[in-house]
Structure 1
Amino acid sequence: MGGEDFAESKVKPSVVLTGAAKESNGPSIGILDIGASQNAFLFRVALPSIRIDQSKLKCEIQRDGKVLIQGIIPQGTEVLRGLSKKCEMRNEMFCSPGPFTISFTLPGPVDPRLFSPTFRPDGILEVVVLRISRPIDPVDAWAPPS
């Protein structure tokens, strides 16, 4: 990047949303923050309405810094227990159910084998990926344990 630090750059990443992410009725899906250090990039993506056990979430990172996040927003119907009666709740204001993709490009090349994803309880996918330091395979992917 020629010595320029991404944090000081005025370049904002272009984020592409498709499917249910684009048709969101409620909390915005795909809001993105990117941070940079000398050795790594950190990105956080908002994924409200995503349940890790139902979403088939997958994050693919390419050597050139392209990131593709795919998953499924589950149907918003739940049965609440612990009340005197069962109560079926429809989350009408949440994201529309269905498949989605989010894609963007990090501000530099990375080593896709060396990344650490965390899906936080607040619906944020947080990933640290190391900047490139040697020739590597062009793609690696992550999916949470089933």
Structure 2
Amino acid sequence: MSIQDHAESKLKPSVVLTGSAKESNGPSIGLVDIGVSHSAFLFRVALPSIKNDQSKLKCEIQRDGKVLLQGMITQGTELLQEQSSKCEMIVEKFCCPGPFTISFNLPGPVDPRLFFPKFRSDGILEVMVMRYRHPSDSVNAWAPPS
């Protein structure tokens, strides 16, 4: 395995979905992108059907780079009410209401105190977390593998 193959395999996270995230028939919940810089990791997670103010979304990041997202999909799809009409759904492609978890690992250790989340209006959770740096590490020790 070449160095580049090894680096690319570390950037392809193994994502574990449970609850409503696993049962989704529609827009994929839990798709993850990871970016790497000398000093930080940036990850984005697709969370369609999630409303930041109602989902009780919780993001836990551990020093070893493990990320755990937990929340609640609150939008019911059984009955839609728009203006004066009520419609019972016969085709359901959106996420089922209920609790969910999403977990994955970043490619290296981080400082869990230094993370900066942003829940975008398009249903994407974007988080930057600083890499863990031991005081004795040189500046070049965090360069991405070439």
Q: TM-score, normalised by structure 2?
A: 0.79
In our comparison, the structure showing a higher alpha carbon Rg is 2
Report which of the two has the higher share of helix. 2
Displacement after TM superposition at 1:89 (Å): 6.8
Identity of aligned residues (%): 66
Paired residues in the alignment total 128
Structure-2 separation of matches of 1:86 and 1:23: 28
**Where in structure 1 are there 5+ consecutive unaligned residues?**
136-146
Partner of 2:114: 114
Post-superposition offset of 1:78: 4.9
Provide Cα deviations, 1:2-49, integer angstroms capped at 9, x if missing partner: xx799x822111000001000001100000000000000000000000
Give the RMSD, CA atoms, in angstroms.
Answer: 2.3
Aligned-partner Cα distance in 2 for 1:99–1:128: 24
In structure 2, the residue matched to 1:57 is: 57
SS at match of 2:8: coil
The alpha carbon displacement at 1:80 in A equals 2.9
Secondary structure in 2 aligned to 1:9?
A: helix
Gaps spanning 5+ residues in structure 2: where?
Answer: 136-146
Letter in 1 for 2:68: L
Distance 1:134 1:92, change over 3 A: same
> TM-score, structure 1 length as denominator?
0.79
